[in-house]
Structure formats: C-alpha cells, structure tokens
Structure 1
Amino acid sequence: MPTVALDTTNLLTAIPGLLGFLPEQSLVVLAFDEDSSIAVTARHDLLLDADGEPTADMWETMASIGLVCERDGALGAVGVVVDNRYGLPSPVYRRVLADLDDALIAAGVPGGVRAGFVVERFAAGMPWYTALWAMAGRGPTGADPDVPGSLGLADGGFGCGLLADPQSSPVALERSLRTGRVVMASRSEMYACLATTEHCVDGACGGRPRRIRPTTTAAGRTKLLRAALKLLTGPAVPEMTCANVVLLSRAVRNLGVRDALLVLGGGEHRWVAESVWRDLTRRTRGEVRASAATMLAHLYYLGGEGAYTGVALDVALQACPDWRLAGLLDTALTGGVHPSMLWEVLGESYSVAAGLGVTLPSASSRLWS
C-alpha cells in the first residue's frame, strides 16, 4: 500500500483500490500487525435476516475472518460496513461490528475491532460514520500497550467525514500502474469480463468447435507444451484463431502441460498469459472453460489479487463444479492461505517440464512488487 497520510478518510477511500472494485452490501475487514501495516484484507457479502441480524452464514464468515487474522499475526482490525438499507447511524450496523469484534476476540486477536465504520456506497463526497470505537482498550486496567489503539489513524478513527474519490486514491492509482487495471464499478463488472463469446476470431470452425483430442504420449505432451509456450511467450498477445483456441484448449486439458504452464502466471510473460487465459475462458465451454478460468485464478492468486481470484474460480466451478484444481484453490482462498504458498509449489511445474525435456521461463515474485 502506498505511503499516505493515514487518516480515516484516506483509509476508507483506499478500500476499493485494495479490493479492485467498489464493494456493495459488504463487510470489509482490514487487520493490522504490530507495525500498523495491513496484514489481512477481507471482503464478504453482508448477510442479514429480516430483522437486520447477521445470518448463520454471516456468523461463520466472521469466525473464519477471526481465525485468519489470528493466524497472520494481526493485533487489531478496522471493520467497515458498506450498505444502504438502514441508514448510517442504524444500530443494525453497530451490532454487526460488535459481533465482528466478538469473533476476533474469540479467535485470539487481542485488539478486536479497534474502530468500525459505515459507508452507504463508495463515491466522492459520500459520508462515513463511526459506529464502533474501542480506543479505550480492554479490561479493567485500560488500554493494552501492545495493541495500537488507533492502528495508525492520524485522527484516531473517531467521528465522521466525507470520502474522497476512490478511483483516484493513491492506492487505486498504484494498482492501475502495477496491473494495468482500473477499479471496477462492481463485482458484476468483473464477471462480465469473463462472459462467453464466439469460439474464435476467424470462424474457421463454422460455429461448431472441433472436439478436443486428448494427448496421451510423452512425446505428444512435449510437442504440445512447446507449441503452447511459443504462443504464450511471444512479444505480443496471440490472435485467438480457431487453430490457436484448439491448441490452447488441448494444453489446459492435459494435466502435465497445464501444471507446467502455471509458471507463466509469475514471470515476465504474466501479462500475455492473463490475456490469453481470460480470452480462452470466454471462448470455450465445459471443462476447457473451467480449466482456463482456473489458470486465470491461479495467476491472480500468485499476485495477491483476491477479488479477481474469487471471480475466476466462481466461473470455473460454474462451468465444471468438480474441477479439482479450482476446488483446491477455492478452499485455499476461503481459508485465507497466503499467495506465498502458491509460489512455494511452483517448483513442481519446473519438475514436470523438465521431465518432458522443456525449459520454462523463470518466475519471480519480485515482478509483482
């Protein structure tokens, strides 16, 4: 996160840049470590019953957030409710934030929710309101010296104010420079980027895609991996002709070739790979669409882009509910597994490629910094 004067308005305005989209009807949690750096960023749908009480699923979600925050060494958190159903000062939102506080404390996060805010929606000039404030510390002795009370907020996190423009916050601008993407208006806009379209650009299939032949021999897998790498490591994004769509479809359907190609999500060819996996997801159906979307999700996960990862995994599991790699990544994402774990297992991709006599490009997390 870029260095900014961290008052409450700046922090709240930065949230869409951290997430990649403008959240709606959401509970957002920013958990901080001992240096007042963000250790955990989480967003979940705000699930309330007819009486405005958190549903059972919402309770489970808050408990899970607490466990992730405790595991990652968070000392306290800021909770943000984004909702327009009850009005900013509603006790409904204070109860939600108090329940989140209980969940964090129960999980072992010593500071719980240090400050809780309510925003109706993210837009320049929209008001924010403090619904929960825990500056006084916990227990009969007063403030805990090991838990930063304001979590680095220059204004202490108490009061109300107006949001700046989330699209032009320092975090949003940094994200745009780093990833080439602007903050999306909503998650639905992110799903729209993966909506289905024609099979190819040249129409050679006549609207009826060819059946994908399995590749069963080692020599065939080697040839397929080399052909896919030639497309994915060139100087420009390859055109999605019918022949290229078929070749890439065969590649992502073959377990060994697919595992080797996962490396491209973390190297200098990451931008071409992202474009290709996104386009292949849109142009295919069934298991090929599931595998292509999973490749895209893995790429996003490596880069720490949780919102994009979640959307790609939803698309993969909708296309094929039992697609194994998508299920594993979804479980990891839901459990708050850090992207570093995925970097650690990329060595398996190099082993697979070496077994096929193919040398892969290098991958380095430094390319993401």
Structure 2
Amino acid sequence: MTPPAERLPVDHRPVEHRPVLRVRDQGELVAAVPAMLGFHPRESLVLMATGGRSGHRLGLTLRVDLPPPEHPDYTDHAELVVASAVRGMLLDEPAGVIAVVVSESGDPPRALPHPLLARRVASAIEAASLPLHASMWAERTAGGARWACYEPCGCAGVVPDPATTAFVAAVVAEGRVVHADRSALAALVAPADPAVLRRREKRLIQATDGELEEHGGEVVLDPAAGVFLVDAAIADAAAGRLVLADDRVVALATALGIDEVRAEALRRCAGPHAMAAEQLWTALTRETPDPEAAEPAALLAMSALLRGDGALANIALDRAEGAWPGHAFAGLVRRAAMAGIRPSVMREMLTRSVR
C-alpha cells in the first residue's frame, strides 16, 4: 500500500502579505524542496503546486517514497505512487505542477533514474489538464548535488548552496527548521528513556486503579483543573521553563484523557500561544508512555497541520497510531490531513468554536 503523501503549503498567509521571492532556475528549485518539506528527502517523488495570480507561485508540496526499481512489481507500484501523489496535489486546485525525482540510483546524466515514473507523472498531470512546468531529477537536495531535466528539456546543473538563495533564506528566517532527513524529524517524537517511561506507566496504572493519590501523586479528574494544568504548562513552555517531572507528566496524561480538556487543548493549537502549545505537545509525546502518548501526539499533528507542516503531522500521527491503534482523535486528525483541508480553514473552524 502506498503511504499517504506528506503535504506542506509553503505559506498560508494571505497572498497580499507574502513577500515575492523568485526562484531563478531549476537548481534553486531543488534547493527549496527541503525548506518546504522540513527535511532533505531521499528516494522520493516530490510534487509542487503552482498558483496565485501569476500561476507560478509555489504552493502545496507533496512527497511520497519512490518504488525500488528492482521490485518485481515496479510498474504497478509506480502507478500507485503517481496516483497517490497526483490525487493529493489536485486537492489544492493548482494552476500547474513541478515534479522532482530525488534519487541517487542510476548513472546520470546519460540515464536518469526512474524514467517510467517520470513519464507516468507527466501523463497524469496532462490528463488533469494542467501544465507540467518542469520534470526533474536530483541526486540529493543539498548544495553541490547534480540535477537534470527529463526529456525533452535535457538541461542539467548543480544545486546551489541553500544559504545563498533568497527563497530558502527567507523561509529559514521565518523559523522553519530543515532536518537532515525524515528520520531526524521522527526523532522529535521518539519515546524517551524506556526506564523513565516504565516508571511513569506504573504510576498511570496506579492512577487508573485509584492508588496514586495515596502515594502523594496527582490525578486530574476535574475538567476545569485539567485545563488549568494544561494552560500552566503552556505558559511555562512559552517562558522557556517547562520541566516535565514524573508527577507532571502523569497529571497531564490523565487530564488530556478527559474529553473537555482535550477539546480545550485543541483550541490552544490555534490560539495566541500556539507555538508554546506545540512545544508542550512535542515534549509530552516523547515523555508520556504508551498508550497515553497518543493524546499529545495527535495534538502535535493538529498543531503541525495548522502551520502547514505536513511532514511533522504525518510523523506525529504515526506515533499516535503506534501508541494507541484505532485512537479516535488521531483518526480524525488523519482524515483531516488526507482531505487536504487548508490550514486557514482549520484555524477558522477552531477559532469559531471558541466564540
């Protein structure tokens, strides 16, 4: 089964408030990919939507894993990869599409890797009555890597140092972090020390059995107290003094298990302290044992979606679903991610629900 494409709108601010930054050539376009995804992709098909008044403004970016060329069902797998990526791309109603195959296999420039997949992409985009502005290959997205265009263009070059391009510099200046690869991004939500998690798991079991308070621990059962606890942790994160000792992790885990508290926590993802809330969800995803880690992981996924960070959202959802298979809230967030709902629309929905 082809995994869902990771998607990322480059900038969800109104068009009139966005600076106009020009990507001068294909090399700069490749250099922009990791800034848009949040990591350097490997063995990936990346599709970038174009739109705006000019029809050439970079928008939604999707990434899917490439099928291994030696796979016996490569042709069928390539068809599924292309169908998944193009279907997700069309949700954004683009004016055009740019396709980049990132792969270190093959012997370019004489024989670019994955020519069949590139042709399938071109055919699928043509069938959707959209212009394919560029169909490219790049061995990597780092500076100094080779790139080339598939036929009929056939031009080639070297990816510039991302630090020298205006587009990447502006994106990084906005605070977006570019990770070395997807595994580095996944490390953000990787579970903490197993011994620490086992200790906290024992305390959560005691809380469930009504024994924790007898040992001086804190159990949050009242929604109002749970919301107060969450807001205090967000305030600490905003002030740079967040500390997650055992008692606090257990108390927050029990609080987020309350429907009313989770609903308020969800609204904090779109509130004035959204970044601090995201820091809290990230830390709790690491520091909370399974299955309770699913709650902050799903909240982290929603925070990432509201920023347009599809890569982090998918990784957080994988963590949530791994911690608690069938988790209802994580499933709801996953459906929102796959539906391609714009961040501005989701933010408006959450904001409206507060009034």
Normalising by the smaller structure, the TM-score range is 0.7 to 0.9
Q: Quote the residue 1:72 is aligned against.
A: 92
Does 191-200 or 38-47 show the bigger shift? 191-200
Q: Quote the residue 1:301 is aligned against.
A: 305
- List, as ranges, runs of 4+ consecutive aligned residues in structure 1 with deviation greater than 6 Å: none
Query: What per-residue deviation string (whole Å, max 9, x for no partner) do you get for residues 138-190 of structure 1?
Result: xxxxxxxxxxxxxxxxxxx76111101236644443333323x5310100011
Q: Quote the residue 1:99 is aligned against.
A: 120
Distance 1:167 1:327, change over 3 A: farther
Q: Structure 2, unaligned stretches of length 5 or more?
A: 1-9, 11-18, 211-219
**Aligned with residue 39 of structure 2, among 7, 12, 21:** 21
Q: Quote the residue 2:296 is aligned against.
A: 292
In structure 1, distance between residues paired with 2:107 and 2:254: 52
Q: Quote the residue 2:320 is aligned against.
A: 316
Structure 2 contact 23–167 (Cα < 8 Å) conserved:
no
Distance 1:175 1:287, change over 3 A: farther
Query: What per-residue deviation string (whole Å, max 9, x for no partner) do you get for residues 6-65 of structure 1?
Result: 321111111111111000000001121253112321111011442687453542342233
Q: Quote the residue 2:227 is aligned against.
A: 225
Does 5-14 or 300-309 show the bigger shift? 5-14
* Residue 192 in structure 1 maps to residue 187 in structure 2: yes
Structure 2 contact 62–88 (Cα < 8 Å) conserved:
no
In structure 2, distance between residues paired with 1:214 and 1:273: 29
**Aligned with residue 88 of structure 1, among 85, 100, 108:** 108
Structure with larger RCO (C-alpha < 8 A, sep 6+): 2
Q: How high is the TM-score relative to the length of structure 1?
A: 0.77
Structure 1 contact 42–65 (Cα < 8 Å) conserved:
yes
Structure 1 contact 13–165 (Cα < 8 Å) conserved:
yes
In structure 2, distance between residues paired with 1:170 and 1:54: 38
Structure 1 contact 77–114 (Cα < 8 Å) conserved:
yes
Percent sequence identity over matched residues? 27
Shift of residue 116, structure 1, vs aligned partner? 0.7
Shift of residue 207, structure 1, vs aligned partner? 8.3
Structure 2 contact 162–169 (Cα < 8 Å) conserved:
no
**Alignment length (residue pairs):** 321
In structure 2, distance between residues paired with 1:196 and 1:176: 27
In structure 1, distance between residues paired with 2:163 and 2:90: 31
* Residue 242 in structure 1 maps to residue 238 in structure 2: no
Give the AA of the match of 1:97.
A
* Residue 124 in structure 1 maps to residue 124 in structure 2: no
Structure 2 contact 200–250 (Cα < 8 Å) conserved:
no
In structure 1, distance between residues paired with 2:129 and 2:331: 29
Q: How high is the TM-score relative to the length of structure 2?
A: 0.80
Structure 1 contact 214–254 (Cα < 8 Å) conserved:
no
Query: What per-residue deviation string (whole Å, max 9, x for no partner) do you get for residues 178-232 of structure 1?
Result: 23x531010001111222114899x9x68843334499xx981112112221221
Q: Quote the residue 1:327 is aligned against.
A: 331
**Aligned with residue 30 of structure 1, among 24, 48, 51:** 48
Shift of residue 109, structure 1, vs aligned partner? 3.6
Q: Secondary structure at the match of 2:204?
A: coil
In structure 1, distance between residues paired with 2:228 and 2:25: 52
Q: Secondary structure at the match of 1:346?
A: helix
Q: Quote the residue 1:356 is aligned against.
A: none
Shift of residue 331, structure 1, vs aligned partner? 2.8
**Aligned with residue 42 of structure 1, among 48, 55, 62:** 62
Give the AA of the match of 1:307.
A
